[in-house]
Each structure stands twice: as structure tokens, then as C-alpha cells.
Amino acid sequence: MRDGINTAKRGLPSVALVTEDFWPQGNFTAESLGMPSVPRVKLPHPLAGTGQSHLEEVAKRLAPQIIEQLKHD
């Protein structure tokens, strides 16, 4: 979330990728850093360690959402 906000503050298109278990923390961070509406996409949790095929499946499924978010100002 911080990476997404820091990128956005530089004026670059950004989208934060946040797993569902850390979604509330992402909201908290976005609020506390003054960018509550920073674009974000929810990923399943856990993601790390779940295997290459699962990662590829998640990436394929969520890529359109990420691209869609990046289209906005």
C-alpha cells in the first residue's frame, strides 16, 4: 500500500495489491497517509508459497482488474 501511495504521489499511475487478510490494514495505511482512495486490488490470501500454477492463475484472473484501475486518474 505504501508503495502504491508513494508511486501515486510521484504522479505515476499506480495500483496497490493487497491480500484479503491485510485489506483492513491497507485501508488504515491509505487513510493515515492521506490517500484513502488510492487504487487497490484485493488478492486472495495466502498467496506466498501457494505454488507457481496458483500464482499464475491469480495473475491471469486479476490482471484485467489491475489494468482497469491503472486507466483511472
Task: Tell whether residue 34 is a contact of other proteins (CB under 8 A).
Answer: no
Q: Using DSSP, state whether 49 is helix, strand or coil.
A: coil
How big is the site for other proteins, counted in residues (CB under 8 A)? 9
The minimum distance between CB 53 and other proteins, in angstroms, equals 8
C-alpha torsion angle, residues 37, 41, 42, 48 (rounded to 10): -130
Binder among 9, 13, 21, 59 for other proteins (CB under 8 A): 21
Cell numbers standing for residue 57: 492463475
Q: Does 2 bind other proteins (CB under 8 A)?
A: no
Separation of alpha carbons 67 and 51, rounded Å: 24
- Binding region for other proteins (CB under 8 A): 21, 45-46, 48-52, 54
